[in-house]
Amino acid sequence: MSKRVGLILKPNKNEAIELAKELTTWFNQRHVQVFLEEQVASLINNALACSRAEMGRLIDFLIVLGGDGTLLSAVRDMAGKNVPILGVNLGGLGFLTEITLEELYPVLGQVLEGKMEIESRMKLKAQVIRGGELIGEYTVLNDAVITKSVLARIINIKSSINGAYVTTYRGDGVIISTPTGSTAYSLAAGGPIVYPTLDSILITPICPHALTNRPLLVPDRVKVEFKLESEESDVRLTLDGQVGCPLQPFDQVLVSKAPDSVSFIRSPFKDYFQILRTKFKWGER
């Protein structure tokens, strides 16, 4: 039985704070220690305070209360810790925070009995090369996006896979996503829905000038290279929509499968296709 759980939530969300209080009481009654960040722990009785960096080393599993943005932030902070994550949806669409409030306590009961269902999701590693030198390295669960600013002109991005030239994208940019990220920005840009445990990398152009530039799905074992061939200076690499890196002309962005993955605790009460039907309202008229 797990004895230590971490809770991550936004401290300015009253709904999340109240739920964290309920969960702390529920866990304490079952002799489970609850760890929260200092700012939140001060608001909740019988909770133990720690930093996010410390939390990953102390807990057996993590509960994230909020939306997908809160979960993506938590995944970044738990990188390399191999901590199973349970996402509870208090936000909007919530593909990653898939557990509803109605399911929460039945799922937690199974977790404490050692019956939790774990699903592993791949991440991507993105490296920025400038003048032959590595200037930045990041990991993402959803996507890495090369895009121009609102006022910038069309940009040219040369793409290669394992050293073989693919094409030069001319448009607003390109999205490189995991299967998990296929239901995020890539979907809005016309990309397909990819089953989340499929070992693959999805490349989706953003507003391509050539209509023949279509999304491309490649195996996760390849290395994908993008080179900014425009002289446009107002271009950025954005990681999971939360971290940004300014790019300069002729910078290279190398993308490959990350060495670590993310473990999600799945609900035993629904499958992925039920989630799609619910989120996209498939079948409704």
pLDDT at 230: 82
| pLDDT score of 1 more than 70 | no
- Give me the sign of the Cα torsion angle 14, 57, 264, 138: positive
User: 4-115+268-280: what fold?
Assistant: Rossmann fold (3.40.50)
pLDDT at 45: 85
> What is the mean predicted confidence (pLDDT) over 101-105?
93
DSSP state of 217: E
List, as one string, the DSSP characters of 78-117: TTTS---EEEEE-SSS-SSS-B-HHHHHHHHHHHHTT--E
CATH 3.30.420.10 fits 123-259, yes or no: no
**Better-predicted residue by pLDDT, 196 or 96:** 196
Rounded CA separation 203/224 (Å): 9
Q: What are the residue boundaries of the structural domains of the chain, listed by start?
A: 4-115+268-280, 123-259
Mutual angle of helices 14-29 and 101-112, in 10-degree steps: 30
Give the pairing type, strands 216-219 and 252-266: unpaired
Rounded CA separation 180/198 (Å): 9
Residues 6+ apart with CB under 8 A from 3: 31, 32, 33, 60
| pLDDT score of 151 more than 80 | no
The count of C-alpha atoms lying within 13 angstroms of the C-alpha of 184, restricted to the half-sphere facing its C-beta, is 26
Q: Which entry of 60, 68, 77, 251 is annotated as an active-site residue?
A: 68
pLDDT at 234: 87
pLDDT at 248: 94
Model-level pTM?
Answer: 0.93
Rounded CA separation 100/93 (Å): 12
Q: Is 30 left (phi over 0), alpha (psi -120 to 50) or beta?
A: alpha
| pLDDT score of 62 more than 90 | yes
E strands, 30-186, where?
33-37, 48-50, 61-66, 85-89, 117-130, 133-140, 143-148, 155-161, 164-171, 173-177
Give the pairing type, strands 243-247 and 173-177: unpaired
pLDDT at 178: 98
Q: Indicate if 199 belongs to the active site.
A: no
| Pick from 56, 89, 34, 234: nearest CA to 147 | 234
Rounded CA separation 8/3 (Å): 17
